[in-house]
Structure 1
C-alpha cells in the first residue's frame, strides 16, 4: 500500500498539517525536529511558528498528539492554525498582533501512536510518563506511570534510560523556544478524563503549590472575567490524580533556574460527555477519547477556539498585566481556592 494512501486513511492529520504549511507559505517558519521510524516508514515531527522572530518577545506554544489515541487535541490545534493562516491574507489587526508575539505549533508529537490508535509511541512508552520525575505521594497504580512492561498502558520506560525521541525533542525545543523568552505559555491538548473541560497546571508529581501560583490565579481570573459563560474547571492536576514522569513538571522545574515566567497548561477535554450521548462509540478503537459524530467534532473544534485566542492575547499583553499583579494577595487567594482542604 503506498504511504500516501495509508496516511490518508490512518493519519490524515499529518497530511492536513503539511497542506497547511504549504498554504501558510512565507508567513510561517517550519522545521522538522526529528523523524521517528515504524515498519520501514519514517514520520516527521513538525514545529511551525508564526509571528515575531525576535528573541525578546513572549511565546505561546500549542502542543497536541502526545497521546496518539487523543487525536481531537491535534485537530483542535489544526483548526486554530488554519484559521490564523487564512486570516493572515486579509486581517491587518492580526499582523499587528503577531508583530510582538511568537506562536509555536507542535500539533502532532506522536504520529506513530496516532497511526496505531495508541496512547503510547512506537516503543510502547507513554510520553507523558517519560520524564525523569518521580511523584511524591499517593500515585494511582498503573495510571500514574509504571515500569512493569510496555505491554501495559502508562509505561514510563526503563529506569535510568534516556527519554524517548519524541519526549526528548519536545523538551529540547521548549527549552530553546519558550524558556529563553521573557514570558511564555504552553497549552497541551488532551482528551479522555471526566465529563468537564478542564485546564490543569503543575504539579502532577505533588500537591505542592508552584512558585508561579499567583500568575496562574491571575490568568484564571482574567479568563473568568473576560468570558463569564465559559465552563472550564481550572485547577492543579494533582487535585485530580498524581503521576510520575510528567513532561511539564520537568520543564517547569527547569524554568525556575532561569530568568523567565513559564506557565504550562493542559487542556483536558472531557470525553465522557461524548460517550454519554453516544454509548456505542466505546466499541470503536478511539471512541473513549474522540467525539466520533461529525457534528460533535465540529462543536469541539469551535468550542476551544475562544480559549486559545484568549491565551494568545494574554501572552502578547503580558507586559501590561503582569507588572500589575499583587502576588501576595493572588497567592493567598489561590492557596485558599486550591490547597486548603
Structure 2
C-alpha cells in the first residue's frame, strides 16, 4: 500500500509575508508530534511582527549527541534559510516511512533554526532591521588585523558589517541563537552544527573557527577527523574544508563566541557553510544587477541543484553526530592528528601553533 501523501504546504501569504516561516510551522505540524516548534524571540519591523522559530526532534538526553542546522542569519542570503528548511522538509517526509530514521532519532538530538533574521529576510538586507550584522555582533574582538569594514565596523548602521554599539547587549536575534546553542547543543556531550550562508567566490567552503585569530582551535584533531570522514563519505564533494582565518579575520563572530563559551568537558564543533555565489552569477550574469541575485540562485533549476547538493551535507552531519564514537579520535591519536592538521591548515600561513 502506498504511503499517504503529505498535506500540501500552506499557500504563500500576501506580499511582505514570509512563506518560509509558514512552511516551518506547517512541517512541524505534520510531523505526527515528533517535532516540537517554539518561538525564541520576535522581531518587529515595518509594522509587522515575525517569529524566530526553532524546531527540535529526537533524544533530549544530555548523554545523546546533538546536531544543529542554522540559516537566515543574513537576510539577503535567502538560500541559506532555504537549505535548512529543505533539510527539515526532507526529514519530516522520511518520518512517514523510514524506520531507520526513527531509530536514529532515538539516539540523537536534532535542532533546526532556519530563520535567525526574519526581519532582514523580509527587508532583503544582510543586517537585522536595526542595521546590525549578526555575524559581527558577538563580544569577541579580533586578535589580529581584521579586514577593514568587512571584518566588522562601528562607524554606524548605514554601512554594512556594523557590529552594534560598543558595550551594548547583543541583538535579540543573536542572543536567541546563542541561547538555543547553549540549551540544545552545549548541554550535550558531543554536538555538531552548520550555519548556512552564501558569499563571494566560486567555491563552496566549510569554515570552522576561529575567525578572530589565526591561532588553531584546541579541537584541531577532531576537526581533521571530521574533514577526513567527509572526504571518505561524500565522494567527489566540492567543499573546501578549512579554518575561516585562512580567508580573513573578523570581529564579533558568533561561532567563535560560542566555541569559547562551550563547557570544557563538552565537544562542540560548529561549521559555517559559505556557498560560492559567483557560480550563479557566472552562469547568469544579469543577476549581478539584482542585490538578491548576487547571493542567491534566481533560476529555479539552479536553486534545486543547490538544494540537492547541500542536503547531502546535512544528512552527513546528522549521521556523523549519531555515530561519533566510530570516528572521533582516541586520546592516544590526538597528538598525531594535531600535527597533521597543523601541516594541512596552518604551517606556512603565519599562524601560531
Counterpart-to-counterpart distance in 2, 1:54 and 1:334: 32
Alignment partner, residue 4 of structure 2: none
Counterpart-to-counterpart distance in 2, 1:83 and 1:287: 26
Say which of 174, 177, 181 aligns to 1:170: 177
Which string of whole-angstrom CA distances, capped at 9 and with x for unpartnered residues, describes residues 277-334 of structure 1? 1110111130110010101000000001111111111100112322546111110000
Task: Report the more deviating stretch, 184-193 or 32-41.
Answer: 32-41
Counterpart-to-counterpart distance in 2, 1:260 and 1:188: 20
Which string of whole-angstrom CA distances, capped at 9 and with x for unpartnered residues, describes residues 142-176 of structure 1? 00000001000000000000000000111111011
Per-residue deviation, 1:259: 1.2
Alignment partner, residue 316 of structure 2: 310
Counterpart-to-counterpart distance in 1, 2:182 and 2:128: 22
Per-residue deviation, 1:89: 0.6
Say which of 194, 200, 207 aligns to 2:201: 194
Counterpart-to-counterpart distance in 1, 2:329 and 2:212: 29
Residues paired across the two proteins, number: 336
The 3-state SS of whatever aligns with 1:47 is strand
The 3-state SS of whatever aligns with 1:108 is coil
The 3-state SS of whatever aligns with 1:152 is coil
Say which of 290, 298, 302 aligns to 2:304: 298
In the alignment, structure 1 residue 227 sits paired with structure 2 residue 234: yes
The 3-state SS of whatever aligns with 1:103 is strand
Alignment partner, residue 270 of structure 2: 264
In the alignment, structure 1 residue 340 sits paired with structure 2 residue 342: no
The 3-state SS of whatever aligns with 2:293 is coil
Counterpart-to-counterpart distance in 1, 2:285 and 2:184: 42
Are the aligned partners of 1:7 and 1:15 in contact in 2 as well (CA < 8 Å)? no
Counterpart-to-counterpart distance in 2, 1:258 and 1:334: 21
Per-residue deviation, 1:335: 0.1
In the alignment, structure 1 residue 204 sits paired with structure 2 residue 203: no
- Please list every run of 5 or more consecutive structure 2 residues that lacks an aligned counterpart in the other structure: 1-11, 349-353
- After superposition, where does 1:20-31 map in structure 2 within 5 Å? 20-31=27-38
Alignment partner, residue 89 of structure 1: 96
Say which of 16, 20, 24 aligns to 1:13: 20
Alignment partner, residue 281 of structure 1: 287
Counterpart-to-counterpart distance in 2, 1:172 and 1:78: 20
Counterpart-to-counterpart distance in 2, 1:253 and 1:333: 23
- After superposition, where does 1:53-202 map in structure 2 within 5 Å? 53-202=60-209
Are the aligned partners of 1:7 and 1:14 in contact in 2 as well (CA < 8 Å)? no
- Please list every run of 5 or more consecutive structure 1 residues that lacks an aligned counterpart in the other structure: none
The 3-state SS of whatever aligns with 2:271 is strand
- Aligned Cα root-mean-square deviation (Å): 1.3
Counterpart-to-counterpart distance in 1, 2:326 and 2:112: 25
Are the aligned partners of 1:179 and 1:258 in contact in 2 as well (CA < 8 Å)? no
What TM-score comes out, normalization by structure 2 length?
A: 0.93
Counterpart-to-counterpart distance in 1, 2:121 and 2:234: 33
- After superposition, where does 1:313-332 map in structure 2 within 5 Å? 313-324=319-330, 326-332=333-339
The 3-state SS of whatever aligns with 1:60 is strand
The 3-state SS of whatever aligns with 1:131 is coil
Are the aligned partners of 1:271 and 1:290 in contact in 2 as well (CA < 8 Å)? yes
Counterpart-to-counterpart distance in 1, 2:200 and 2:341: 24
Counterpart-to-counterpart distance in 2, 1:117 and 1:227: 33
Counterpart-to-counterpart distance in 2, 1:298 and 1:318: 30
Kindly tell me: are residues 285 and 25 of structure 1, through their superposed partners in 2, closer, same or farther at Cα, counting changes over 3 Å? Answer: farther
